[in-house]
């Protein structure tokens, strides 16, 4: 559940801290929402397919909700390079899980990690509340789907790369300035397309179109994103930049670094935290909230 003080009313002007509203819940400045990951993929970098089976995915969602997740983020395509997954297969993987989780948990906020508008339409009809577009608006039709169904949208910065690619020697004059300019422009375009202003988040997308130095710089200067007034989502859980920062640790040994990055992000005003371990994230964020006086 959210912690902290209530925020401003919807319709705030850009630059004014806004309230995020999804499925009847409100997360204002100072509130922290845990977004838990459910991968319906056979080749996830983290769980290696342990929640690929339909029932395993639904049961994982229930467990994460019991552990304190406010949002469940369901994905059907591995972020990195791998086996091609066409829209029909992505729909097969995610739509039935969305419907089942919605039936089992009528009040939970359901997000779907997709960049495709044809997938977005099907999952919106199945009960999704949020479209988590980690690839930065490569399909301009996604905002139209969010607007048509009255649901939320994540506007991310992926360095203008094609989905599921890793750019070689990516460079920015100022990575944070680029992130802020790109995500806020996407957000304003979404509003112009009809998406509710209070249903939009911006996301720096650590490691997407970025090397470790870029992801660390974004983490250090995340306050420049939160200062825009848009609610900020951070997705840093067990990512490569965490492992490289700690001397090349493998995925399963990045937990402490993940929690440290979550705390730094929360202290700078991040609102939503996409994680694999909902229980630990909830406890860490509760400490941050107390440190902040909430």
Give catalytic residue positions.
239, 274
> Comparing C-alpha atoms, which of 188, 285, 264, 292 is closest to residue 230?
188
The rounded distance, in Å, linking the Cα atoms of 225 and 177 is 9
CA 146 to chain centre: 15
Phi, then psi, of 251 in degrees rounded to 5: -55, -45
Residues whose CB is less than 8 angstroms from the CB of residue 23 and which lie 6 or more positions away in sequence, other chains included: 107, 108, 109, 129
Tokens of residue 90, six digits: 């992505």
CA 165 to chain centre: 19
Tokens of residue 187, six digits: 């957000």
Q: In sequence order, what E strands does 71-212 have?
A: 71-75, 109-113, 130-133, 152-156, 200-203
Residue with tokens 């203008």: 160
Phi, then psi, of 32 in degrees rounded to 5: -125, 125
Contact 151, 92 (CB under 8 A): no
The rounded distance, in Å, linking the Cα atoms of 153 and 272 is 13
């Amino acid at each position: 559940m959210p912690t902290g003080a209530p925020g401003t009313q919807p319709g705030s002007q850009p630059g004014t801290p806004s309230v995020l509203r999804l499925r009847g819940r409100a997360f204002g400045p100072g509130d922290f929402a845990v977004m838990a990951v459910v991968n319906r993929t056979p080749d996830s970098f983290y769980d290696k397919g342990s929640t690929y089976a339909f029932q395993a995915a639904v049961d994982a969602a229930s467990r994460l909700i019991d552990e304190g997740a406010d949002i469940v983020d369901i994905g059907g395509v591995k972020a990195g390079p791998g086996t091609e997954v066409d829209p029909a297969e992505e729909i097969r993987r995610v739509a039935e899980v969305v419907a089942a989780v919605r039936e089992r948990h009528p009040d939970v906020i359901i997000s779907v990690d997709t960049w495709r508008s044809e997938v977005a339409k099907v999952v919106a009809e199945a009960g999704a509340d949020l479209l988590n577009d980690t690839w930065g608006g490569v399909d301009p039709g996604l905002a139209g789907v969010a607007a048509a169904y009255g649901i939320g949208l994540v506007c991310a910065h992926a360095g203008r790369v094609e989905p599921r690619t890793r750019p070689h020697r990516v460079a920015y004059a100022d990575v944070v300035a680029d992130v802020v300019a790109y995500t806020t422009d996407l957000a304003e375009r979404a509003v112009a397309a009809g998406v509710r202003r209070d249903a939009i988040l911006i996301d720096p997308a650590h490691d997407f179109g970025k090397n470790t130095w870029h992801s660390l710089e974004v983490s250090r200067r995340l306050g420049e994103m939160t200062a825009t007034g848009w609610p900020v989502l951070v997705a840093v859980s067990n990512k490569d930049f965490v492992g490289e920062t700690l001397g090349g640790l493998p995925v399963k040994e990045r937990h402490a670094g993940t929690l440290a990055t979550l705390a730094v992000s929360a202290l700078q005003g991040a609102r939503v935290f996409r994680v694999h371990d909902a229980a630990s994230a909830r406890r860490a964020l509760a400490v941050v909230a107390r440190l902040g006086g909430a």
